[in-house]
Amino acid sequence: MAVKIRLKRIGEKKVPMYRIVVAEASTPRNGRAIEEIGTYNPNTNPAVVKVDVDAAKKWIANGAQPTTVVKKLFKQAGLK
């Protein structure tokens, strides 16, 4: 079971907002998630990133692989 940390799109048309979720790699983008660990709102200036740091560290320690976009968001949030 490959687990990824990725974005799940929510919000209306042309007003995107995202949740940072832990999900199996084979599930669809907006499919069932194992856990939600944060949010990302690109509509504000500057963009708002909220991450549950403890949960993110736990999942990374257990082998979850963040996507490239989520890696960048983790750096913005102060998580390596």
The third-level CATH classification (topology) of the domain covering 3-76 is: S16 Ribosomal Protein; Chain: A; (3.30.1320)
* Residues 5-12, mean pLDDT to the nearest whole number: 95
Structural domain boundaries in the chain? 3-76
pLDDT at 79: 84
Q: How confident is the model at residue 65 (pLDDT cuts 50, 70, 90)?
A: very high
pLDDT above 70 coverage of the chain, percent: 99
pLDDT at 16: 95
Stated pTM of the model: 0.91
72 close to 18: Cβ distance less than 8 angstroms:
no
Q: What is the pLDDT of residues 37-51, one digit of tens each?
A: 999 999 999 999 999
CB proximity list for 19: less than 8 A, separation 6 or greater:
7, 8, 10, 33, 36, 38, 39, 40
